[in-house]
Chains A and B, each alone.
Chain A
Amino acid sequence: MNTIAGYNFAYLDEQTKRMIRRALLKAVAIPGYQVPFGSREMPLPYGWGTGGIQITASILGRDDVLKVIDQGSDDTTNAVNIRRFFARTAGIATTEKTEDATIIQTRHRIPEKPLSEQQIMVYQVPLPEPLARLEPREAVTRKLHALADYGLMHVKLYEDIARYGHIASTYDYPVLVNGRYLMAPSPIPKFDNPKLHMNPALQLFGAGREKRVYAIPPYTKVESLDFEDHPFSVQRWEDPCALCGAEDSFLDEVVLDDAGGRMFVCSDSDYCTTRQAAGHTGSQSPVAKEAA
């Protein structure tokens, strides 16, 4: 065992993990419903994904392979810290390859590679209540959920179109799960919303500060809210990824130099490097540049 002495497997004690697993079972039984749980203090500050970490700690087994992504990347500080945390406290294997992972903890993205029934997504959620900005009183939002009374969310979308000509939310775009519960999909780009729908993987969401977990079981219907004459649509880019030529991935803008040079590349770093390794090229690939 190469774990740190003095800690239980995956840091949390077994009683806490059982408590969280019970909350998760309830969450799976009622797709999209926010289940309260007794959030524990974690050795990372709120905002670093303590909700997601507690879920991962509760479901992690010794044979699991963990991938952690932040903004689509495996090597940001947050992703590296969380991966290292579990490697040390649970001694489990970690990976950057989407297809090799059994659990993927994420902030901001869903991998581009399709997920399988053998995988679990764990989302870090800062604000679990999709109605919070419209109705700050929790007693009221709870009642609105109980009665599936979601007209207020459409008032917000109406107001967006009236003001900006389109629905302004590009991240954390509200969805209706299983035709019943309104849910905040965490700050993923709306580009990823279609991946929530009928996904073979189990999707778990954890908000540490707000002490809530919720879930989308495999193969569950997830609709992005919209109007008939302003249908939901995802972001599109004019050019493919400058490094791997992908036309189907979410792109980030990267500044190249002080002269205003920039390029658009896959935000999912594993997807991009895998494609490059397979020989795909883009306008800024070393090969393409040499040829030019």
Chain B
Amino acid sequence: MNPLLRVNGLSKRYGERIGCADVGFDLYPGEVLAVVGESGSGKSTLLQLLSTRLPADAGSIHYQITGRGLVDMAHLSEAERRWLLRTDWGFVEQNPRDGLRMNVSAGANVGERLMATGARHYGQIRATASDWLARVELDPARLDELPAGFSGGMQQRLQIARNLVTRPRLVFMDEPTAGLDVSVQARLLDLMRELVTDLGLAAVIVTHDLAVARLLAHRLLVMRQGRVVETGLTDQVLDDPQHPYTQLLVSSVLQV
């Protein structure tokens, strides 16, 4: 099987400080990769680079575009890149307010990607949005309500629906459960696991929470000071960490 995403030697400096150094990995269709580490480990920088929101200083990102094979993201035109970002990719922000349009209804939030990619039938857009609300366990009767009236957990589910409506193959998630109550977190994680499995989604999830990684990810990438210190199957890494830093993380000494 060909990888969906191939990352080589990805590096970013902020002046003297290393944001991210020489990161490389392959991600296969349907595979969930968790990037774990403390704050300042470079995991958020890596996510910004992977999602092409931030230009890298060095290295490359190749993506398997349907019908075109592995394409160097740096060779895509701005229009092609944006099209990919809103059809085949998704990005779930840590704070749902950053990923939603707070001044338009839940239905418009979910429908935006459809309209941006040419959907012009109001009734169909609405029906699809309604289906997606149900799918992320939101009451479709609230389709016309503004997200501001939703709880944090509901907003996060709405943000997920807004991203998944175009059936992307790759989703980036930045601490998607942070800031939520523990019980809300658990329900959201269950839902995310179901969606990822049902849709065959590949995902890169940045998290400081090893429980999130254990529940969702097939593989782990442990980062420290901008570098990958250990990588492997999730259970292997968490049950038998090799690198002293991973051992510290797992022993929860460093857990926040």
A 143-165 contacts with B by CB, 8 A: 147, 149, 151-152, 154-156, 158-159, 161-163
The answer to whether A46 has its CB under 8 Å from any CB of chain B is no
Q: Mark B136-150, 1 if CB is under 8 A from A, else 0.
A: 000000011000000
A158 contacts across to B, CB distance below 8 A? 104, 107-108, 111, 115, 122, 125-126
Q: Mark B117-139, 1 if CB is under 8 A from A, else 0.
A: 10011110110000000000000
- B115 adjacent to A229 (CB under 8 Å): no
Q: CB within 8 A of A159: which of B79, B105, B123? A: B105
Given A155-B111, A158-B111, A227-B116 contact (CB < 8 Å): no
Q: Which residue of A lies closest to B78 (CB)?
A: A147
A147, A159, A162, A228: the one within 8 Å of B82 (CB)? A147
| A18: interface (CB < 8 Å) | no
Q: What size tier do the contact residues of chain B reach?
A: 20 to 34
Q: Does B214 contact A (CB under 8 A)?
A: no
A147 with B79, Cβ < 8 A, contacts A158-B122, A230-B122 known: yes
Chain B interface mostly:
helix
Interchain CA distance A115-B107 in the complex, whole Å: 42
Is B121 a contact partner of A162 (Cβ separation < 8 A)? Answer: no
Q: Are A149 and B116 in contact (CB under 8 A)?
A: yes
The closest CB in chain A to the CB of B119 belongs to A154
Instruction: List B residues 42-90 near A (Cβ within 8 Å).
Output: 78-79, 82
Cα distance, A5 to B67, chains bound together (Å): 71
- Interface of chain A, main secondary structure: helix
Q: A230 to B144: give the CA distance in the assembly, Å.
A: 17
Which residue of chain B lies nearest to A225 when distances are taken between CB atoms in the complex?
A: B120
Contact residues in B for A227 (Cβ distance below 8 Å):
120-122
Given contacts A147-B82, A149-B82, A162-B144, whether A155 and B108 have CB atoms under 8 Å apart is yes
The distance from the CB of A29 to the nearest CB of chain B, in whole angstroms, is 21
CA distance A151 to B121 in the complex (A): 13
Residue of B whose beta carbon sits closest to that of A230: B122
A149-B82, A159-B108, A162-B107 given as contacts; is B101 within 8 A of A154 (CB)? no
Report the Cα distance A159→B103, complex, angstroms.
10
A149: chain B residues at CB < 8 Å are 82, 116
Task: A159 to B143: give the CA distance in the assembly, Å.
Answer: 11
Residues of B within 8 A of A163 (CB): 105, 144
B31 at the interface (CB under 8 A from A): no
B174 at the interface (CB under 8 A from A): no
Enumerate A234-291 residues with CB–CB distance to B below 8 Å: none
- Complex interface: chain B residues within 8 A of A155 (CB): 101, 104, 108, 111-112, 115
Q: Which residues of A contact B113 (CB under 8 A)?
A: 151
* Chain A interface, number of residues (Cβ within 8 angstroms): 17
CA distance A161 to B111 in the complex (A): 13
Which residues of chain A have C-beta atoms less than 8 A from B104's C-beta? Answer: 155-156, 158-159
Selected from A147, A162, A226, the residue in CB contact (under 8 A) with B105 is: A162
In the bound complex, CA of A229 to CA of B105 (Å): 20
Question: Given contacts A147-B78, A147-B79, A149-B82, is CB(A154)–CB(B120) below 8 Å?
Answer: yes
The residue that A229 contacts in the complex, of B79, B101, B122, with Cβ under 8 A, is B122
Mark out the residues of chain B between 125 and 181 whose CB falls within 8 Å of any chain A CB in the assembled complex.
125-126, 143-144
Central interface residue in B79, B101, B104, by most chain A CB within 10 Å = B104
Given A158-B107, A158-B108, residue A229 in contact with residue B82 (CB < 8 A) = no
Partner of A228, one of B105, B121, B143: B121
- State in angstroms the CA–CA spacing of A163 and B112 once bound together: 16
Q: Establish whether residues A151 and B115, one from each chain, have CB atoms under 8 Å apart when the complex forms.
A: yes
Contact B120 A228 (CB under 8 A): yes
Question: Whole-angstrom distance between the alpha carbons of A155 and B113 in the complex?
Answer: 9
**Interface residues in chain B, defined as those with a beta carbon under 8 Å from any beta carbon in chain A:** 78-79, 82, 101, 104-105, 107-108, 111-113, 115-117, 120-123, 125-126, 143-144
List, sorted by A's number, 15 A–B pairs whose CB atoms are closer than 8 Å. A147-B82, A151-B112, A151-B116, A154-B115, A154-B116, A155-B104, A155-B112, A158-B122, A158-B125, A161-B122, A162-B143, A227-B121, A228-B121, A229-B121, A229-B123
Of all A-B residue pairs in the complex, the 8 with the closest CB atoms, nearest first, are A151-B116, A154-B115, A227-B122, A151-B115, A228-B121, A159-B104, A159-B108, A162-B144
